[in-house]
Structure 1
Amino acid sequence: MERGAAAERFFRDKEAFQGIAGAAAESLGAQLFVGGNAALMGQKLASYPSLSVLLCGPIGPKLHELLDERMIVPPESLQETDEFHLIMEFQAGETWGSTEAPRANRFIFSHDMSNGRMSSLETFVASLAGFQPELVVLSCFHMMEGLGRDTWEGRLRESVSIMSAVPKGTPIHLELGSMADKDYMNRILLEFMPLVSSMGLNEQELLFLSQAGRGPHADMASWEGVPDVGGVSDILFWILERYGRSGPPSEAKLTRVHFHTLAYHVLASVDGHWGNQRAAVMAGARVATSQACGPQAVDVSKVELRAPLEFHSSYFEPRETLSLNPSEPVAVWRRGNVTFCLAPVLVCLEPLRTVGLGDAISAEGLMYSEFKAQWAL
């Protein structure tokens, strides 16, 4: 909260969590929304009438009721009770004791054992043959972290084996999530990342990934204010070079990373694997504003531009100076065989909700992206 940063953590004490959840449910003004990264992304994608979305996860009666009617849920995913995630949202300037939030954000906590153990993964992969997806979206790794090493070590290996059954040529997008265990993050990078074609993450997740893998700017404790575009670009390039297909010839599939922060978004993609990325990053920026401010037309008096009007493409050489052009609002630059697209965001001054923004951003970006499967087999 002191940094205005989003975070999510596992709450270990089941009884204490149930007590907090019960008090929250009985409080005045309590609201229920669709929760979980995969469900939120599926809900966004299902808003397009041309799409069919298969959702696998622990789905209780209330969540099932809230889901879009076009969402396909296998019977094996249904359970008698719902898993609840508690969201503590704060506005810029709000205080907790002596701490004052510099910007609006949220803290999420849960005692969600089903999602943490990725209990529906086998059901999901078994359903793919009949569904024949054009895209697979996966999340929940960040929730498994809180269950401890004895649990995540074996389940991570099982996940790699299970997801290897996804048909070749079908892109897999991983929505990363907030984590704190560097060893666990490294294991995901080394063991699971070779299966992933695309990834979505925010500023805390990007910096933590670099710290865990000893990448660029790993000595930084946190970003100061708006994350520096050059530093972000360095880490994105390193991810695609070390863990993706931008580096030496390998079996790696990662060719796209969608980075989102409050002021701007960057889509970095390896040339020849994805199309329409300018439109994709613009769509992500647009939905960030519309979802934070509400469904009505954006009131220009209630938004502001916080993206830097001029920035550098890197901290290192070659270091290109770039600027935002109102007539062509997406800035584009290249580094080796990686193309970067940056779109500024109109930041909502009084957001209605911050939770789920990252999921909507990633889903919208994927909707507008063209995956060139014939290039990636």
Structure 2
Amino acid sequence: MALWRGSACAGFLALAVGCVFLLEPELPGTALRSLWSSLRLGPAPVPVGPLSPESRLAAAWDALIAQPARRWRRVAVGVNACVDVVISGVKLLQALGLSPGSGKDHAILHSRSDLEEAFLYFMGKGAAAERFFSDKETFHDIAQAASEFPGAQHYVGGNAALIGQRFAANTDLKVLLCGPIGPKLHELLDDNVFVPPESLQEEDEFHLILEYLAGEEWGPFKAPHANRFIFSHDLSNGAMNMLEVFVSSLEEFQPDLVVLSGLHMMEGQSKELQRKRLLEVVTAISDIPTGIPVHLELASMTNRELMSSIVHQQVFPTVASLGLNEQELLFLSQSASGPHASLSSWDGVPDVGMVSDILFWILKEHGRSENRASDLTRIHFHTLVYHILATVDGHWANQLAAVAAGARVAGTQACATETIDTNRVSLRAPQEFTTSHLESGSRIVLNPDKPVVEWHREGITFHFTPVLVCKDPVRTVGLGDAISAEGLFYSEARPD
């Protein structure tokens, strides 16, 4: 009788779990396998019906993402930090009494009218941008209105602070952050982030983040993608005031990875100060002990001379790794006469072959080789629908996991979820692409079950993966910084 009851119970439970598979085929497979295993009922049944491409891709990432053999213990990050005031761009500009006119880019914003035109220009493209606002008083008035606006949110801001926050989520990592840290920012920072006393200041630097949703309209403009427009009157970060504090803190902190950002903030400075500061940056990086990799995170820029100086004045050869998005990549190529520099802007999704050509050119022209003394061996490129990690062979390990982890965090952070919610994301990467337009590249067909594609070109390895794009993003700010931090966390630098 007991045997009959046990068999009936097992049969009933098997039927119940089978019904779950039938009714909820997109429930995480790991959860269902765990349930089935706990019942000791043998191998789990195959789900009824095909899983969505998003579900297959997310499951494949989880299987691929493995910890590196040698993990970072102490990470030092500097030198730009601020408080981000996040608000609806259209609502703020309407509250300021502005009306939609003709979109127009401005390298530097001098007035409210410039702000309205630049915001519309990038909103119409669905592209991210960051600009310096030259008029201190006008910016202060706008910042106060934004900060007090209903629904305005205050967050940790600045590439260095955001990257530090992401690293600090890993409690076994010690994180040092140097930058202009005011009282509000200090309050917002993770308890796991150590700030040297010399970095603390009496007032915060505020950056205004004007967000817009996919499909949002203002006048004749309609945003094709959710994104944001950033502007500030930030003199502390613009002069990189905390560079010396950062460098002097490294000796005591003893990091095994250094992350540097904030060079783009110098656009509001004079050419003379830019040249002087870049030389000091190079000297500072050169003083970091050999064997400690330095990652440089780039950000939106409009000054071609400054970008050219960053590329050519020995900044690139002194860093081991770069992080950048599609706008920064194309602007870099335009500023330094690289491949596809005649392209004025990307037409929709950046072409994978063109992106690959520019990444290859950067590493071939400025990366490490037998004939060139350079530390640059790694570039992490991220755009909305896909990422590429390009590395010089022999210097980095675990990059397949790194690019997958970077893409996975883009989907979770944008949707504000712990794991990928396959009902809230969509696969928008190109289904087919060519790996180069300057030579006979390979033709790749995307397979969600094998989401990381690898190819090689003259001693350089490329890892590509699509991104699962959040359909209803909660917040777009800081995605690039989270992506770069996550990719670095899973990366392993091989000793020279």
TM-score normalised by the shorter chain: which range applies?
A: over 0.9
1:190-211 Cα distance to aligned partner (Å, 9 max, x none): 1211111000000000000000
What corresponds to 1:14 in structure 2? 136
SS of the residue corresponding to residue 157 of structure 2 reads coil
CA distance in 2, matches of 1:228, 1:355: 24
CA distance in 2, matches of 1:160, 1:122: 12
What corresponds to 1:133 in structure 2? 255
Partner residue of 2:289 out of 136, 148, 167: 167
What residue identity is the alignment partner of 2:349? V
What corresponds to 1:355 in structure 2? 477
Matches within 5 A, 1:37-116: 37-116=159-238
167-176 or 316-325, which deviates more: 316-325
Q: CA deviation at 1:325?
A: 2.1
SS of the residue corresponding to residue 236 of structure 1 reads helix
1:266-306 Cα distance to aligned partner (Å, 9 max, x none): 00000000000000000000000000011254332321111
309-318 or 262-271, which deviates more: 309-318
1:340-368 Cα distance to aligned partner (Å, 9 max, x none): 00011111111011000000000000000
What residue identity is the alignment partner of 2:262? C
SS of the residue corresponding to residue 300 of structure 1 reads coil
What corresponds to 1:236 in structure 2? 359
161-170 or 47-56, which deviates more: 161-170
Moved over 4 A (4+): none
User: Which structure has the larger Rg over C-alpha atoms?
Assistant: 2
CA distance in 2, matches of 1:368, 1:123: 28
Is 1:259–1:267's contact at 8 Å kept on the other side of the alignment? yes
CA distance in 1, matches of 2:419, 2:408: 11
CA distance in 2, matches of 1:8, 1:33: 17
SS of the residue corresponding to residue 379 of structure 2 reads strand
For structure 2, list consecutive stretches of 5 or more residues without a partner in the other structure. Answer: 1-122
Matches within 5 A, 1:293-332: 293-332=415-454
52-61 or 159-168, which deviates more: 159-168
1:98-147 Cα distance to aligned partner (Å, 9 max, x none): 22111111010111111111111111111111111111101111111122
SS of the residue corresponding to residue 241 of structure 2 reads coil
Partner residue of 1:217 out of 340, 349, 365: 340
CA distance in 2, matches of 1:320, 1:298: 30
Is 1:323–1:331's contact at 8 Å kept on the other side of the alignment? no
SS of the residue corresponding to residue 464 of structure 2 reads strand
TM-score, normalised via structure 2 length: 0.74
CA distance in 1, matches of 2:290, 2:298: 22
Q: CA deviation at 1:181?
A: 1.1
CA distance in 2, matches of 1:83, 1:313: 42
Partner residue of 2:323 out of 197, 200, 203: 200
CA distance in 1, matches of 2:346, 2:181: 36
The answer to whether structure 1 residue 26 and structure 2 residue 110 are counterparts is no
CA distance in 1, matches of 2:411, 2:418: 11
CA distance in 2, matches of 1:347, 1:30: 24
What residue identity is the alignment partner of 1:206? L
Is 1:284–1:362's contact at 8 Å kept on the other side of the alignment? yes
Quote the sequence identity (%): 62
Is 2:298–2:322's contact at 8 Å kept on the other side of the alignment? yes
Is 2:402–2:491's contact at 8 Å kept on the other side of the alignment? yes
1:11-55 Cα distance to aligned partner (Å, 9 max, x none): 111111110111011111111000000000000001001100100
What corresponds to 1:286 in structure 2? 408
CA distance in 2, matches of 1:161, 1:8: 27
CA distance in 2, matches of 1:163, 1:276: 25
CA distance in 1, matches of 2:300, 2:421: 32
What residue identity is the alignment partner of 1:197? A
How many residues of Structure 1 are paired with residues of Structure 2 in the alignment?
373
CA distance in 2, matches of 1:208, 1:117: 22
